[in-house]
Amino acid sequence: MNGGPSGFNNAPVTRTFVIACALFTIIFGIRGRSKNLGLSYLNIFKKLNIWKLIVSVFAFSSTPELIFGLYLLYYFRVFERQIGSNKYSVFILLSVIMSLLFEFLALSFLKDPTSSVITSGPYGLIFSLFVPFYLDIPVSTRFRVFVLRFSDKSFIYLAGLQLLLSSWKRSILPGICGILAGSLYRLNVFHIRRMKGNYPAPISSTTEPPEDSVSTLVSMGFDRNSARQALMQARNDINTATNILLEQQSH
């Protein structure tokens, strides 16, 4: 299991988001304000710090969180390659909005201006992505270390656990909110996935698809023969081919 070709090929939205997170974290870290970016009941329901709300979506509060967060965002670029950049942009928007709403509900329930602080960073998006990661990404290899069994997915789960526990209570809450947001999106509650838009029907091609495109789809967990046929149907457009394969799986 891997994220397909190295780098940000066919993943421009992921590249933009990763760069934004790195820049926001560095800028506010240099200014010594990263620790003050966490959301709280006071600055959301009393002071209405909109700038803090926006910045908190991108800026991590510490270097370890930045490292693990960017690693996970980079790995999860596989989903942008699967569904296309347009649909992935909508997924990001909805995941961030829904997770923030859950965080607001939690803060309003706690109503403690001193202790109910949520750490900053794109926790909502990252942990929303763990829902399709768990459900859609197959295990390709398994191995054992002493008596413990692991798979190639274990390293991603361990990185997520490290990020979830990085600030203890301050990071667990947004992580849970992200998982809830990803679950609602997956279940298509209130038909929110209609916003993904429609794509034109692909036109078949008799041209043999490139081997690297076939390998990319296979690395996403699709059958090799199905991947080849989908690429031919999509005229070797990998994003369209991925959409075809996902539609086939949903039926």
Tell me, what's the pLDDT at 193? 64
Query: Do both 215 and 192 map to the same domain?
Result: no
- Taking the mean position of all CA atoms in its chain, how far away is CA 45? 28
Query: Do both 104 and 33 map to the same domain?
Result: yes
Amino acid at residue number 237: D
DSSP secondary structure of 39-67? EEHHHHHTS--HHHHHHHHH--SSHHHHH
Domain with 128, as residue range(s), is: 12-196
Tell me, what's the pLDDT at 143? 87
Domain assignment present for 166: yes
Which segment, 47-56, 122-131, 164-173, 222-231, is predicted with the most confidence on average? 122-131
3-state DSSP call for residue 148?
strand
Query: Do both 110 and 80 map to the same domain?
Result: yes
- Higher-confidence residue: 101 or 5? 101
The packing angle between helices 12-30 and 63-75, to 10°, is 180
3-state DSSP call for residue 168?
coil
Q: How far apart are CA 97 and CA 95, in angstroms?
A: 6
Query: Do both 153 and 243 map to the same domain?
Result: no
Domain assignment present for 151: yes
Tell me, what's the pLDDT at 164? 96
pTM over 0.85, yes/no: no
Q: What is the CATH number of the domain that holds 222?
A: 1.10.8
Query: Do both 225 and 138 map to the same domain?
Result: no
Tokens linked to 219: 């690395």
Domain total in the chain: 2
Percent of the chain past pLDDT 90, that is, above it, reads 36
Sign for the CA dihedral angle at 167, 168, 173, 179 comes to positive
Q: What is the CATH number of the domain that holds 142?
A: 1.20.1540.10
DSSP secondary structure of 191-202? GGGGGG---PPP
Tell me, what's the pLDDT at 197? 45
Helix (H) or strand (E) holding 145: strand 142-145
Q: Above 50 in pLDDT, residue 17?
A: yes
Tell me, what's the pLDDT at 45? 67
Query: Do both 71 and 181 map to the same domain?
Result: yes
- Higher-confidence residue: 195 or 84? 84
Q: How far apart are CA 42 and CA 48, in angstroms?
A: 8
Tell me, what's the pLDDT at 199? 39
